Every structure is written in C-alpha cells, then in structure tokens.
C-alpha cells in the first residue's frame, strides 16, 4: 500500500520494520526520557499555579470567582492549543512542535509572575495553556514512533505518567520555596525548568524517523538517524524515491475524520473526555465531598493522596497491560471497576481506613483508563496525522476538565447526600467503559474489513 504523496506505508519500510522489532537502543531511551520531562512540565505548571493561587489572589485583590475564571481559561487555552499544535507537528515535525509548545509555556509562565492586573493575568494563563496542551500531542507521537511494537503502549503510558509525576514535584517544589520566599519564585523556577528542557530538546532530541520518511524530505538527516538506531540506510529499504526533495502534502485539522477514521476519532475523543472529567472531579471535589461527609481536612487530604498514588502507579503499567492483554481486556474492565469503586465511596463515610483503600482503587482504575486511552490514540492514527489525532484526544480531555468541575459544583450546591453524589460521579467512568468497548468493536470491524479487501 502507498500512502498519500507517493510514500510507502510504515510496514513497507524494512527500516521501520527493524525499528518495530528491534531492541531498545540508547537513542530511544534518550527520546523517552526527554518526552517524559516535557510532559512533566505540564504537571509542574498546573500544580504550582494551584499552590500559589491564594497568595496571588490576595496580592492582586482577586476573589475565588476570579481565580476560578483564570483556571478555566487556562484549560480553554489548552483545549485550543491541543487542536492547533497537533497539525503543526504533523506538518513541520514532532521536534519543532515540542520546542514551540515548551517555549510558549515557559515564556507565559514567566510573564504570569510579572503581570500587575487581572486582565493581563487572564491573558498570560490562557496563552500558557496553549503551550501546556501542545506538548502532549507531539511528545506522545514521538514516543510511539521510537518505541518497538511490543513496548509501544508501555512507553506511551510511562511518558504520559510524567504529568502526574510533575504535579507531585511541582507541589513539593512550591511548598519548599514558599517557606522562605515570595510566590513569584515558584513561577520563576517553573520557567527556569522550562528553559532547561528547551535547551535539552535542542541539543539531544532527534526528529522521528517515521516522520522523516513520511514527510519525503531530509534524506541525509534520515540516514544519520538510522545509523544511530543501528540500521544501515543502504540495506534498510529506504530508497531515494521514498525520501525526496518534494514537501509533503498539507494535512488539515479534519484529516483524522477521513479514510474511515471518523467513528474511531469521535469515540476516542469521547473516551478521553469522560476519563479526564472523572480524574478532574476527583482532584477538585473529592476532598470537599469527604469533608462535608464528616471527615477532617487531614483525613480528606490523605484520601486524596491515596487516589493520586494509585493513579500514578497504575499509569506506569497501563500501557504494558494494553500491549499484553489488549484494550478490551484492560481498559474496559478498569473503567467499569472504577465506576463501581466510586459508587462504593458513598458508603464509606465514617470509616477512614476503608475510604483510603477505595480511593486508591479509584485512582488505580482511572489511571489505567486514562493512560490506556493515550496508548490507543498513539497506535490508532497513521504517521501523517498522528500528532493531529492525539491533539484531538487531548483537546477533548481538556474540555472535560473545563466542564466537569462546574457541573459537580452545581450538584453539590443542591445539598445531595454523599451516596447520591458518588453514585452520580460513577456515571462518568461507566460511560467511558461503554465508549471504550464501542471503540474496540469498531477497531476490530475496521481491521476485518481491511483484511477482507487485501485478500480479495
């Protein structure tokens, strides 16, 4: 099969086949580590701004409603950024997209510490949000394109786990700094880390070999990269015709809805929306619901920590589970049991030990669902639109983070009991499980159809 632009598909390149089946080399491990650092920056920024928010609002004279608007607008920027920078990565390369995203995030994080007014703060956080979400599409695409087939889901999940790991690091960093210094130093430190990552990316991060083949340019650059991967370009099946001087065809934001991908893209976006909404609800409202149910602030905080620990631990193994057992046997049961665990939280009031255990299970199951969904996105889309496809999935996830806390806030204002609240919250992962099952079914039908056409 020949892809658009006259470029053979991945499977017809012996170079790509060797990369898919080969052992891990130093350059691949370097790519994974750098991509994980990139995703960590998103978590560091989000957690840092949350910690300094009370001090920032006090100095600028902002109330909670104003700060809530700032947080929401950051996620709106992230929603737009994921959609805008995904196609950029497919057009110009994963590496340039990562550099642009991290640079945008770094500059506007720095400016956040310097703005003197509410209006400028809104602008800086909105623009920082564009960079925040943009890092995911290209970082996950690059990870998947360097990973051998047997480890692809695993490595995508590990890199995706950089976000919660960064959030944990950002919280600790902010707590240490604020003991003796002004809140602005937290943001300065975040910007400094961003600048450091930019320097590392410029020096050490290579472009994707799959992208270079698909793009049809930079033959000499591709040859050098293949040699670093232990592949002989002359014997790797990459002919001069496959890597030409002609630029690749332009891909649009809507390319992921062409060629039979439309239903899968829609289902993947819905899956990410429901999974991300569940995670955001647990992060934002879980401690408040527990406090209203009679738990102390300390107990609520420990329960939240149990959720976060379970989530991060599960994210690290989610991709391996998908690689080993398949999406149907991994993501769908995890999301179903997540819904069941959230429902059970409504009946643990007064029993702190049980709440801790159930909260960790909720985090573990949703961690598998969230990370597994990213692994599916990285594996679904062909190279020419992979960054765009992951961008759509990330954008849907960010949109879920925008609307879910608002909806739960309305529910809590109605004075419902804890059991009813958690029963309502369980609907989100339950819907995600149904969407995941539909996605796996649609994927199988598409593969069977393609197999029948090739045999016919």
Domains and CATH numbers, the chain: 2-235 (1.20.1250.20), 255-455 (1.20.1250.20)
Beta-carbon contacts of 245 under 8 Å, excluding residues fewer than 6 positions away, are 217
Using an 8 Å Cβ cutoff, are 374 and 160 in contact?
yes
Question: Which DSSP state fits 3?
Answer: E
User: What is the rounded CA–CA span in Å between residue 310 and residue 365?
Assistant: 8
Q: Digits of tens for pLDDT over the chain (456 positions)?
A: 333 333 444 434 566 777 778 778 889 999 999 999 999 998 888 778 877 877 888 888 887 777 777 877 888 888 888 888 888 888 888 999 999 999 999 999 999 989 888 889 889 999 998 888 788 888 998 998 898 888 888 888 889 888 888 877 887 888 888 888 888 998 999 999 999 999 999 999 999 888 888 776 667 778 788 888 777 666 555 545 444 444 555 566 788 888 788 999 999 999 999 998 898 888 767 777 787 778 887 788 788 788 888 888 888 888 788 778 877 788 999 999 999 999 999 888 778 899 999 999 999 999 999 888 888 887 888 888 888 888 899 889 888 888 876 777 666 666 677 788 888 889 999 999 999 999 988 888 887 777 777 766
Which of 381, 269, 375 minimizes the C-alpha distance to 318? 375
Determine which helix (DSSP H) or strand (DSSP E) holds 7, and give its type and residue range: strand 7-8
pTM of the entire predicted model: 0.81
* Cβ(175)–Cβ(9) below 8 Å: no
Distance of CA 87 to the CA centre of its chain: 16
Give per-residue pLDDT as tens, 359-372: 999 999 999 998 88
């Amino acid at each position: 099969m020949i892809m658009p632009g006259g470029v053979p598909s991945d499977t017809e390149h012996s170079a790509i086949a060797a990369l898919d089946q080969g052992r891990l080399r130093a350059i691949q491990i370097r790519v994974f580590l750098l991509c994980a650092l990139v995703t960590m920056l998103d978590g560091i920024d989000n957690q840092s701004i949350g910690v300094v928010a009370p001090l920032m609002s006090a100095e600028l004279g902002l109330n909670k409603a104003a700060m809530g608007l700032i947080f929401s607008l950051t996620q709106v920027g992230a929603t737009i950024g994921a959609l805008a920078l995904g196609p950029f990565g497919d057009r110009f390369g994963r590496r340039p997209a990562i550099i642009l995203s991290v640079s945008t995030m770094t500059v506007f994080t720095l400016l956040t510490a310097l703005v003197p007014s509410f209006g400028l703060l809104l602008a800086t956080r909105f623009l920082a949000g564009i960079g925040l979400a943009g890092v995911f599409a290209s970082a996950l695409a690059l990870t998947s394109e360097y990973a051998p087939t047997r480890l692809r889901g695993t490595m995508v999940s590990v890199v995706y786990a950089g976000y919660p790991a960064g959030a944990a690091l950002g919280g600790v960093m902010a707590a240490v700094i604020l003991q003796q210094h002004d809140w602005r130093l937290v943001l300065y430190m975040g910007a400094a880390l961003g600048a450091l990552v930019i320097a590392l990316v410029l020096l050490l991060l290579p472009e994707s070999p799959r992208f270079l083949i698909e793009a049809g340019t930079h033959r000499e650059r591709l040859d050098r990269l293949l040699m670093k991967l232990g592949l002989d370009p002359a014997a790797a099946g990459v002919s001069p015709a496959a890597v030409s001087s002609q630029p690749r065809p332009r891909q649009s934001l809507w390319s992921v809805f062409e060629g039979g991908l439309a239903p899968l893209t829609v289902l993947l976006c819905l899956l990410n929306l429901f999974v991300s909404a569940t995670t955001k609800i647990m992060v934002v409202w879980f401690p408040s619901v527990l406090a209203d149910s009679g738990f102390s602030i300390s107990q609520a905080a420990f329960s939240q920590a149990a959720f976060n620990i379970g989530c991060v631990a599960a994210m690290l193994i989610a991709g391996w589970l998908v690689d080993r057992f398949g999406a149907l046997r991994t993501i769908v049961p995890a999301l179903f049991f997540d819904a069941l665990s959230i429902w059970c939280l409504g009946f643990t009031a007064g029993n702190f030990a049980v709440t801790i255990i159930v909260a960790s299970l909720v985090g573990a199951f949703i961690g598998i669902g969230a990370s597994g969904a990213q692994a599916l996105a990285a594996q679904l889309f062909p190279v020419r639109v992979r960054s765009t496809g992951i961008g759509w999935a990330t954008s849907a996830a960010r949109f879920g983070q925008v609307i879910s806390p608002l909806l739960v806030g309305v529910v809590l204002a109605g004075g419902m009991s804890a059991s009813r609240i958690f029963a309502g919250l369980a609907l989100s992962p339950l819907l995600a499980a149904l969407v995941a099952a539909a996605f796996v079914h649609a994927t199988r039908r598409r593969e069977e159809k393609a197999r029948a056409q090739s045999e016919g």
